Structure 1
Amino acid sequence: MTARRPTILDVAKAAGVSKSTVSLVVRGSPTVKAETAKQVRDAMASTGYVYNRAAANLRKSSVGLIGLVINDLRTPFITEFATSVQMTLSAQGYATVIANSDEDGALQAQRVSAMIEHGVSALLITPSYGQEADSFDQIARAGIPCLQALRQGDPRCDLFPFASFDYAQGGVLATQHLIAQGARTIAFVGGLSHRAVTAERMSGYLATLSEARRTPVSFVGGVTRGFGAEIAATICADHPEIDAVLCFNDQVAQGMLSGFMRLGRAVGTDVRIVGFDGMEDRDQTVPGLSAAFCDVARFGRDCAAILLDWLETGEHPSPLRRAPVSLLARGSSLGPIPEETSK
């Protein structure tokens, strides 16, 4: 009886890594750490795995174009994600076509249709809300791989896997941090009330306050700096008891920071602020902005790897993935002391 040829799964098990990582190593991706790459190559040698480059090239000749449909490219967090995905795919020789759906479900469906007509071999979507079925049903009919990222537009994760962050844990870490800093009344500011992502980011905050027997206070309705500045003024005028804020995103937090400063309320002492996302310019504010940190650049690389592995092996990814969220503490919540970083 002929022995079974080792597979990429055998290598992954022997190396103690994911099959996506093995795929990246055999394709020579620069995104894998040298130590991990050596670990994978050693596992390939020990298992006797041989990469069939000719077969891979044959498959790749028909899977060279991947579509990215993004809900709002003007949002810095989303832009960094899309850039990371595109650069990772490009490093592996894949071309990408990017479309902005501008938070319009009907426009999203049109963009998806056009990409399918132009022969994309896979799609990655950060969904716009509304008319989701118009987009995902046509993808199902086309039978091409599609990964949902950051937002879930379709509940069929067995068909359209969903990858995002553990936003609830981020809310827990941020709220616990503010309580530890002595905050008494903590508000949640920002987000749109009918969006699932708002509920996710609020859930850890609400659970932590409930456990601490604190009363939550929320101001939802926007996701911009302008909204943050507006609510800062509202808090100063009507809610002086609020001495800490967890914001839906860094943009709202930056607006609150400038709003409080203009009104003479010292950020970091009179009121403590924690943002959400942890964008690169967090240290450019005065004081530096604390945040529930989502490593979106790494997350983008991981999403690209999931798609590449799906195309390479034909194996369906796990239906749900949640990337970890950590805490970055800066002056906006630590106060006027030498700034520290905690992850």
Structure 2
Amino acid sequence: MERRPTIKDVAREAGVSKSTVSLVLQKSPLVKEDTRIHVRETMARIGYVYNRSAANLRSSSTGLIGLVINDLRNPFFTEFAASLQQALSEQGYAVVLANVSEDAELQAKMIDALIEHGVSAFIVSPAYGVNDRPLEAIARAGLPAIQVFRKVDEREGLFPFLAPDYQAGGRLATLHLCDRGCRRVAFVGGLAGRAVTQERMSGYLEVVAQRGQEPVVVTGAASHDFGVSGVKQLMNEHPDVDGVLCFNDLVALGLLSGGQSLGRKIGEDLRIVGFDNIEGCEQSQPQLTSVSCGIPQFAQEVSRRILVWLNEGSAPETGSRMSVELVVRKSS
């Protein structure tokens, strides 16, 4: 028996996304008339039949929130996903999670799939890509969506942005290192040119300028491996550096390990501060000082804002920054 055509078949034959086909079926005004006619003609040609009873069954389970995470391998984002899921479940909502592994193309596919499966709203910690409007499918679907941690779409009226106060965190960490007697403080990690790198670095640059220090910046991947290799580059090129603020804790933990292998005494002749305060900070030897972004509280606030938007129709204010604090341990 021949298989019945599906939405995927319609999308492929019509040369549009699955979310566009779904919007046509929902008679959404967001779809252009010529696109609507083309999709309807394709449905008729391949014999697609819309199963409205199944669609109604799916829509009865609204209360699904799409959560798109750039990289769940990083414990920082794992903690956020778990905290957000808990916060939303307490309000009767379920989270549908998509990990896109820093792949912008995969991110687009996952967003389409979540729209097709009827999520009510999106929370996106996005992957970077060449597309300057990577969230366009969400805009076309008319769904509430908040960008967190990173901003990849500048249309903050459509996609409000919420993040920890990275600049304040960099400032706190650098002041701490200077107050501990560090005469040359470096910033290590984070890809050059990325807004999140610039924000985390900005507080550092502000303080070293105030203290009359020449900045030392070594950018690169936000990974443990880069921290291990980055400390070798740092010590070779700037042997006088005695304090380091890292882009995140993964870089810091790698730098801590690599620095010890080079014979540096961490917390004495080389002081290190990370960013994010992941669980591994307390297990390292020595324990890692880090800027805490208060992820459980941050997740609660994201949950509150998306649900107010859903239930009351009022979009949250954009450009908000949540407070951070420095958790001092033995590495500094």
TM-score interval, smaller chain: 0.7 to 0.9
**Quick check: 2:287–2:329 contact (8 Å CA) kept in 1?**
yes
**Quick check: 1:112–1:135 contact (8 Å CA) kept in 2?**
no
Q: Residues 66-77 of structure 1 correspond to what in structure 2 (within 5 A)?
A: 66-77=65-76
Report the counterpart of residue 304 of structure 1 in structure 2.
303
**Quick check: 2:134–2:153 contact (8 Å CA) kept in 1?**
no
Report the counterpart of residue 150 of structure 1 in structure 2.
149
Report how far residue 133 of structure 1 moved. Answer: 4.8
Report the counterpart of residue 181 of structure 1 in structure 2.
180
Report the counterpart of residue 135 of structure 2 in structure 1.
136
User: How many angstroms apart in 2 are the aligned matches of 1:136 and 1:78?
Assistant: 20
User: How many angstroms apart in 1 are the aligned matches of 2:192 and 2:97?
Assistant: 28
How many residue pairs were aligned? 274
- Whether 1:287 aligns to 2:304 is no
Normalised to the residue count of structure 1, the TM-score between the two structures is 0.77
Quote the RMSD (CA, aligned, Å): 1.5
Report the counterpart of residue 218 of structure 2 in structure 1.
219
Report the counterpart of residue 191 of structure 1 in structure 2.
190
Report how far residue 299 of structure 1 moved. Answer: 0.8
Report the counterpart of residue 8 of structure 1 in structure 2.
none
Unaligned stretches of 5+ residues in structure 1: 1-59, 334-343
**Quick check: 1:275–1:289 contact (8 Å CA) kept in 2?**
yes
CA 1:218 to 1:199, structure 2 compared with 1: closer, same or farther past 3 Å? same
Report how far residue 233 of structure 1 moved. Answer: 2.1
Report the counterpart of residue 89 of structure 2 in structure 1.
90
User: How many angstroms apart in 1 are the aligned matches of 2:191 and 2:97?
Assistant: 26
**Quick check: 1:132–1:154 contact (8 Å CA) kept in 2?**
no
CA 1:189 to 1:133, structure 2 compared with 1: closer, same or farther past 3 Å? closer
Unaligned stretches of 5+ residues in structure 2: 1-58
Normalised to the residue count of structure 2, the TM-score between the two structures is 0.79
**Quick check: 1:188–1:202 contact (8 Å CA) kept in 2?**
yes
Report the counterpart of residue 243 of structure 1 in structure 2.
242
Report the counterpart of residue 29 of structure 2 in structure 1.
none
Report the counterpart of residue 229 of structure 1 in structure 2.
228
Report the counterpart of residue 14 of structure 2 in structure 1.
none
User: How many angstroms apart in 2 are the aligned matches of 1:237 and 1:149?
Assistant: 37
CA 1:190 to 1:141, structure 2 compared with 1: closer, same or farther past 3 Å? same
Report how far residue 165 of structure 1 moved. Answer: 0.9
Large movers: runs of 4+ above 4 Å: 131-134
User: How many angstroms apart in 2 are the aligned matches of 1:128 and 1:89?
Assistant: 23
Counterpart of 1:71, as a letter, is N
- Whether 1:209 aligns to 2:208 is yes
Instruction: Classify the secondary structure of the residue corresponding to 1:332.
Output: coil
- Whether 1:122 aligns to 2:121 is yes
Report how far residue 95 of structure 1 moved. Answer: 1.7
Report how far residue 281 of structure 1 moved. Answer: 2.5
Instruction: Classify the secondary structure of the residue corresponding to 1:147.
Output: strand
Instruction: Classify the secondary structure of the residue corresponding to 1:108.
Output: helix
Report how far residue 327 of structure 1 moved. Answer: 1.0
Structure having the higher Rg: 2
